[in-house]
């Protein structure tokens, strides 16, 4: 298998080739590490490349194959880990100068589970400082760039993982999503990005376990890879109270087991918290809906008036940042990201009454979305309102332009479709919907009832079959 083909082959197939002794894990890992060495200077998608550790793990994986030992479903497959997630003995910086030399003494449970499934960790992928924004840059390591256009962002905060997977630097990236942080990069980079139902996979890194809005999840090029990776990470964890009774991949409706979607009710969210959607994004979303309608689904635009709590979401988000990270800003000052400093200052301006009102607004939003599922089986929307922003876009003060018109700040004018489902806990999947006028990927989001993860993945698979995307490769990877 040629090196370029090897780099863009799905993890499911590579694991099968390794099990059949048709591919050496050592050769596979060496090819990925060589590609990282070539592309890292352009993309800047890794904080740490674990070349020595990955090669040692690949040798051990090959010996296991030769010896006929039991092999995990991801045996020998490279995976990158977002640098917000601890890895034992390997620097975990959280994208911050405050943790530039931090070396954890433990693996997060998700890293443990991926390793147990046979995956080989190749590096820690970049994240903005503490994952606070939708573009991936930080004073600690600089700007991470989109492999489809180096002048654009790969999104954030899992932008390093997305850039790596899109460029063929390993088929699997572990991201996390607190306000769209897997789905934003997925849409920017032409990938599959899943935020499962809260509790579908454990998230040990949150400070507020009971009010948690963050879900770790896969960034991959195919639905099958996302399903496999998610299933390896799922299951109860005593440190995460949401996982106790969460089915690993959620329910899947029997009506979705064939390609006949007759009777499936889809609610189209043409607008959410944002003011406008780019014409090319809207057209590609409609094309995806047409595929599902062609299979028999009933598509209806959602007209219900919903308070998407754009301002109250900012209250919750900024108050959390101010409370948790003000000490970092106080200690490190201008060595921290200007966006972090702006967010801490903004969060300090809210009082407890504003915070309580925002908590109550979250409950109202949850109930409003739950009510939509009385009329619809799934919801479909664009993932983002436009293609990727500039790589150096100012996440705090920058103004988003859509079709040549200035519409306002990033949240909600770029990311207004994604954050609501962190607050409500519903599963949300972004898959590619096509290509914009600028040649960059666009994404469509599929949202299901809580624990309906299997349904959204199945609909993503039907879109993948009808309008395949994984065969396209970004210019930086083939130049």
The span from the CA of 185 to the CA of 407, in Å, is: 21
Which segments of 139-278 does DSSP mark as H helices, in order?
159-166, 183-189, 223-233
What pairing do the DSSP bridges indicate for beta strands 298-301 and 265-268? parallel
DSSP 132: -
DSSP 449: S
Instruction: Tell me whether residue 327 is one of the annotated catalytic residues.
Output: no
Instruction: Tell me whether residue 253 is one of the annotated catalytic residues.
Output: no
Q: Using the Cα atoms of residue 145, residue 148, residue 152 and residue 158 in order, give the sign of their dihedral.
A: negative
Distances (CA, A) of 292 to 261, 268, 462: 7, 12, 8
- Max alpha carbon distance in the chain (Å)? 64
Q: Which of 24, 80, 82, 115 is catalytic?
A: 82
The span from the CA of 151 to the CA of 207, in Å, is: 35
Cis peptide before 412 (omega within 30 of 0): yes
Report yes or no: 269 and 308 within 8 Å, Cβ to Cβ.
no
Cis peptide before 438 (omega within 30 of 0): no
The span from the CA of 444 to the CA of 452, in Å, is: 17
DSSP 472: -
Strand order in the sheet with 215-220: 46-49, 120-125, 78-82, 172-177, 215-220, 192-195, 428-435, 441-447, 378-382, 265-268, 298-301
Instruction: Tell me whether residue 348 is one of the annotated catalytic residues.
Output: no
DSSP 197: S
Q: Which of 181, 288, 430, 433 is catalytic?
A: 181
Report yes or no: 204 and 43 within 8 Å, Cβ to Cβ.
no
Distances (CA, A) of 346 to 138, 157, 321: 19, 20, 9
Phi then psi for 378, rounded to 5 degrees? Answer: -140, 160
Q: Which of 24, 157, 176, 381 is catalytic?
A: 157
Beta-strand (E) ranges in 180-264?
Answer: 192-195, 215-220
The span from the CA of 97 to the CA of 63, in Å, is: 39
Residues designated catalytic: 82, 157, 181
């Amino acid at each position: 298998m040629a090196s370029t083909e090897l780099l863009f082959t799905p993890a499911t197939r590579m694991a099968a080739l390794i099990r059949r002794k048709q591919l050496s894990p050592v050769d596979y890992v060496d090819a990925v590490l060589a590609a990282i060495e070539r592309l890292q200077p352009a993309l800047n998608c890794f904080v740490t490349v674990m070349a020595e550790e990955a090669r040692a793990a690949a040798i051990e994986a090959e010996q296991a194959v030769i010896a006929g030992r039991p092999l995990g479903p991801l045996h020998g497959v490279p995976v990158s880990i977002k640098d917000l997630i601890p890895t034992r003995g390997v620097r975990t910086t959280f994208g911050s100068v405050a943790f530039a030399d931090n070396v954890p003494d433990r693996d997060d449970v998700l890293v443990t589970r991926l390793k147990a499934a046979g995956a080989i960790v190749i590096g820690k992928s970049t994240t903005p400082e503490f994952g606070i924004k939708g573009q991936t840059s930080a004073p600690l390591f600089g700007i991470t760039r989109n492999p489809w256009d180096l002048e654009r962002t790969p999104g954030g905060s899992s932008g390093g993982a997305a850039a790596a997977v899109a460029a063929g630097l390993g088929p699997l990236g572990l991201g996390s999503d607190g306000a769209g942080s897997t789905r934003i990069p997925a849409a920017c980079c032409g990938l599959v990005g899943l935020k499962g139902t809260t509790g579908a996979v454990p998230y040990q890194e949150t400070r507020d376990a009971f009010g948690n809005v963050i879900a770790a999840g896969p960034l991959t090029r195919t639905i099958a890879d996302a399903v496999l990776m998610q299933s390896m990470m799922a299951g109860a964890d005593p440190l995460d109270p949401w996982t106790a009774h969460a089915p690993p991949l959620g329910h899947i409706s029997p009506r979705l087991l064939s390609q006949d979607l007759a009777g499936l009710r889809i609610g189209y969210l043409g607008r959410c918290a944002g003011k406008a959607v780019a014409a090319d994004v809207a057209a590609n979303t409609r094309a995806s809906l047409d595929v599902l309608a062609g299979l028999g689904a009933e598509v209806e635009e959602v007209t219900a008036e919903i308070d998407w709590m754009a301002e109250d979401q900012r209250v919750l988000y900024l108050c959390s940042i101010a409370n948790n990270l003000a000490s970092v800003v106080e200690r490190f000052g201008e060595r921290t990201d200007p966006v972090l400093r702006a967010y801490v200052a903004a969060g300090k301006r809210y009082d407890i009454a504003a915070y309580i009102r925002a908590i109550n607004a979250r409950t109202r939003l949850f109930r409003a979305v739950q009510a939509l599922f009385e009329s619809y089986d799934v919801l479909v929307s664009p993932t983002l309102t436009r293609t990727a922003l500039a790589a150096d876009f100012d996440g705090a003060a920058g103004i988003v332009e859509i079709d040549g018109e200035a519409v306002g700040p990033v949240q909600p004018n770029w990311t207004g479709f994604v954050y609501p489902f962190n607050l409500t806990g519903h599963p949300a999947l972004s898959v590619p919907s096509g290509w914009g006028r600028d040649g960059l990927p666009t994404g469509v989001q599929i949202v299901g009832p809580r624990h309906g993860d299997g349904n959204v993945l199945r609909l993503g698979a039907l879109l993948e079959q009808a309008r395949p995307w994984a065969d396209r490769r970004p210019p930086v990877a083939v130049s």
